[in-house]
Structure formats: C-alpha cells, structure tokens
Amino acid sequence: MVKLIRQILDLFYPLVRKIFDKTTYYYAACGTGNLVLSWILFFVFFQFVFQKKIFYVEFIDYSLSAYSLSSFVCFVISFSVGFLLMKYVVFTDSALKGRIQLFRYGVSGLTTWIAHWILLKSFIVLFAFYPSIANIVSSCIVVVISYLLQKRFTFK
C-alpha cells in the first residue's frame, strides 16, 4: 500500500518540484488527504451520527455537544491514519524508534487537536459559525502548527 501511495504521489511531483522538496510535498499531499477525510467525517458524524444534539453525561454531570463529539471521533480516526502516513510514506528516514515516534506524534496530535477544538468552539460560540464551516476554518489554521511540530519534534 505504501508503494502504491508513493507511486501515485510521484506522478504529480514533477508539477511542484520547483516549489517543494519531496518530503514537504509528501507531507502536504498526505496531510491534505487526511484533512479532507477528517472534514468529511466531521460532517457525517455531526449531521447524521450525533444529529446536532447535546448529550448529557450523568456520571460526570457534563453536557457534550455534537460538534465536540464529532471533533473527538475525527481526531481519533485522523490521528491513526495520519501517523501511518507520516511514518511510512513521509518521514521514512527518521532514525527514531516507532514507539518514540508514536509518543511524539501523540503529544503533537493532542496539542493540535486542543488548539483546533478551542478555535472550533470559539468560532461556533463567539462568532456563530456553522459547525462544519468552523471545523474547516479552525483546522486550516492548525495545519501550520501541526507541520512544524511534526517536522521539528515528532519525526526529527
């Protein structure tokens, strides 16, 4: 599967090779694919699975919105897909052990998800954005943070 993904990506690399080195291109392509997947999943979870409802969790006396639950479920899925893509397609030259990479990816992933969730909630509560639009805007902002964390920390 990794070989197939790289072959597909390599077909389009000549179009951008003057702009990006191959690692940055792979990162951008894999990250964009994973990001679009998370947008689609967020929409599906928010609209259809959680049906825009608020869920009350009695044992902790807390209410969870459909957008918060959707954001968390999408984080879990995109975290898994993203780690596999980053480890096996993008940053293949890393000398770090897999468990160290996973731990670091977890730290950077959790950091960026928290930033994303704060922005998401802010756009929805403070600026009355529709949740799916707020999700797209906040994730675009967080992409820059994610790239820097992964390049300089996770897969150093």
Chunk the chain into consecutive blocks of 10 residues (it has 156) and report each block's average pLDDT, rounded to whole numbers. 95 96 93 95 97 92 94 96 94 88 89 94 96 96 79 70
Residue 51 three-state SS: coil
Residue 152 three-state SS: helix
The number of domains in the chain is 1
Parent domain of 43: 2-154
pLDDT of 16 = 96
Of 145, 27, 146, whose CA–CA distance to 87 is shortest? 27
CA distances for 70 relative to 24, 44, 53, 76, 146, angstroms: 29, 9, 11, 10, 20
Beta strands in the chain (DSSP E): 54-57, 62-65
User: Is this structure's pTM higher than 0.75?
Assistant: yes
In the chain, the amino acid numbered 82 is G
d(CA 38, CA 139): 9
List, in order, residues 6 or more apart from 89 with CB less than 8 Å away: 2, 5, 6, 9, 26, 30
In the chain, the amino acid numbered 133 is I
